Amino acid sequence: MRFDVVSMWPDMLRPFVAEGTLWAAQQRDLIEVHLHRLEDFSLQGRPMVDDRPFGGGAGMVMRPEPFTRAVEAIRSQIGRRPFTVLLSPQGVRLDQTLAKDLAHQRALTLLSGRYEGVDERVAAQCDLELSIGDYVLAGGEVAAAVVLEVVARMVPGVVGRHASASTDSFYSGPLLGHPQYTRPRTFHGMTVPKVLMSGDHEKIRRWRAVEAWRKTLRHRPDLVGLNG
């Protein structure tokens, strides 16, 4: 799967994609990650990517031409139009189900904005406007990192054992993941539940199912239709 990120400051993302799971997946040719500097696609002789908003108001708005030119350049490189996402706090909220859907795309391009927002005509040309939460960041680079990590983990083979991803919170439903324990058996007076050391896989499965429900009801009752 190919990822392209168009950003004012792609160097913010270079260390992120050069470590850990994303780097290993690139080395195994499971994913490609290409970072693009938005200013490189500004109008010739005018390296501007933002301008004052029509109608007045504070701050600057990002112009539509550089984003459009960037997507066209990526399309020319890969021979088809990528599935294009504008990162925005006004978009659809990212969740695990959406991440799994996005992982089926052959090419995913993320457009990262800044300042007071992006010209609405950019959103009109995108396949999806996507938010990582109900808050505002200084720019879309952090959001791009989140989307890269979440979607890449859903690409077959990226996570060493697929079972590791399939037992994550939200993977197969609204429940949070069950509690996890490792050595030592006793730590600061807290002991690993005996059932996990019983060797009885059916009992362990049932225990984990019950504890997943308990954890969800305690931390995120909204996921199962209850008020917090």
Q: What residues are labeled active site? A: 89, 116, 153, 168
Q: How many residues does the chain have?
A: 228
Q: Which letter, b or e, does each residue of 70-80 get, where b requires 16 or more Cβ atoms within 10 Å of its Cβ?
A: bbeebeeeeee
Please, what is the Cα angle at 22 between 18 and 28, to 5 degrees? 100
Tokens of 77: 């490189």
Q: Which letter, b or e, does each residue of 91-130 get, where b requires 16 or more Cβ atoms within 10 Å of its Cβ?
A: beebebebbbebbebebbbbbbbbbebbbeebbeebebbb
Q: Which residues, 6+ apart, have CB-to-CB distance to 91 below 8 Å?
A: 128, 129, 130, 131
